[in-house]
Structure 1
Amino acid sequence: MTEKERELLLLIEKEGRMSESKLAKMLDTSLENVSEMLANMKKRKIILGYSAIIDWSKVDVTENVTAMIDVKVTPKRGVGFDEVAERIYRFKEVKALYLMSGTYDLSVVIEGRSMSDTAKFVSEKLSTLDSVISTTTHFQLKKYKHDGVVFEAEEDGDHRMVVSP
């Protein structure tokens, strides 16, 4: 991977809606070169998609419930955690899935319409998988920061640090 490609990835990771012409100017390269790099990285599955960060608490719709579920599993010989992870990430409720170090093996992030939807997912889908030994569910109560974006940051007032002897 070239240095220009790395710079391009850093720019679009921060602001995915930036135009290709603006990216070309920022990278000091041609528009054609930026278009080619983007197409190449999409083809190689380096760029998997673009998304917006939305503060759903400010929208007049019922918010979904987000839960983080710690899952302890028995890995299978020859495939480790990959086989059970694939079964879990195929559920439509699953928004993210991570292999973790520590007490639990997998961390699953899901969204549902209610806490009872989440409970139903855990009891009827997740816990019934052969490899799953145990689960612990944590519900998201409030979002302060996501993907580097601060939600509801104070705009007014004095932000200087108080220094006292």
Structure 2
Amino acid sequence: MENREELLKLIETDSRLSIAELSRMLDMDQAAVEAEIAALEEENIIVGYHTLVNWDKTDDDHVEAIIEVKVNPQRGKGFDSIAAKIYQFEEVQALYLMSGGYDFNVELKKAPMKEIARFVSNKLSIIEEVQSTTTHVILKKYKDHGTFFVEKGKDKRMAVQE
């Protein structure tokens, strides 16, 4: 399908778009859109649908944390075997192999600070290949997945003149 990437971009921006809306936007038959979405799911290109919540507007007092992890990969195993040890934990929301000063970026599910501390000390840091960790707590979100979490108002960007 030639509109495959356009379909993916639309769904990624707003997964609540109906098949009818997508077919109008892509100028395609509804059955073709449904079939393409089914194929994308089958091929594991579309791997899930999520809702983005602004937790600051609720009474929830849990925090989100990002952990930088430096590891010592074992010969012949590389980073994938270490990643498998880390992403199996239910606390792990996302895991990325990184370039730069550390190897993995671990994003944790929202939890009380004590649970985050327990995860780092009792689960993550005891993995044999883990050399060090640095934990960052997210204090406030301004933008996530292209969505603004702050009230829209006057554009506060500085004007650039040539």
Bigger Cα displacement from structure 2, 23-32 vs 2-11: 2-11
Deviation at 1:161?
5.6
- Please state how far the C-alpha of 1:112 moved relative to its aligned partner: 4.4
- The SS at the match of 1:76 is coil
Whether 1:3 and 2:2 are equivalent positions in the alignment is yes
Does the aligned pair in 1 maintain the 2:62–2:113 contact within 8 Å?
no
Residue equivalent to 1:40: 39
Say which of 141, 147, 151 aligns to 1:149. 147
Out of 97, 100, 103, the residue aligned to residue 102 of structure 1 is 100
> Which letter maps to 1:115?
M
Partner of 1:118: helix, strand, or coil? helix
Deviation of 1:153 after TM superposition, in Å, equals 2.5
**Structure 1 match to 2:87:** 89
Residue 36 of structure 1, CA deviation: 0.3
1:64 Cα deviation (Å)?
1.9
Do 1:64 and 1:111's aligned partners in 2 also have CA atoms closer than 8 Å? no
- Partner Cα separation in structure 1 for residue 70 and residue 155 of structure 2: 46
* Secondary structure of residue in 1 paired with 2:46: coil
Identity %: 47
Q: Which runs of 5+ in 1 are unaligned?
A: none
Cα RMSD of the aligned pairs, angstroms, is 1.9
Q: Could you list the runs of 4 or more consecutive aligned residues of structure 1 that deviate by over 6 angstroms after TM superposition?
A: none
What corresponds to 1:23 in structure 2? 22
Report how far residue 163 of structure 1 moved: 8.4
Which whole-Å CA distance do the structure 2 matches of 1:4 and 1:158 have between them?
34
TM-score, normalising length from structure 1? 0.90
SS state at 2:93 partner = strand
Unaligned runs of 5+ in 2: none
- What residue is the counterpart of 1:138 in the other structure? 136
Deviation at 1:116, TM superposition (A): 1.5
User: Which residue identity is paired with 1:38?
Assistant: I
Find the aligned partners of 2:150 and 2:55 in 1 and give their Cα distance: 12
- Aligned counterparts, 1:111-126, within 5 A: 111-126=109-124
Q: Distance in 1 between matches of 2:2 and 2:61?
A: 41
- The residue type paired with residue 151 of structure 2 is A
**1:23-59: CA deviations, max 9, x gaps?**
0111111010000000000000000011111101112
CA distance in 2, matches of 1:6, 1:91: 32
Question: SS of the residue aligned with 2:109?
Answer: strand
Q: How many residues are matched? A: 161
1:65-101 Cα distance to aligned partner (Å, 9 max, x none)? 1111110101122221001101101111101111011
TM-score (norm. length: structure 2): 0.92
More moved, 44-53 vs 74-83: 74-83
CA distance, structure 2, for counterparts of residue 95 and residue 22 of structure 1: 31
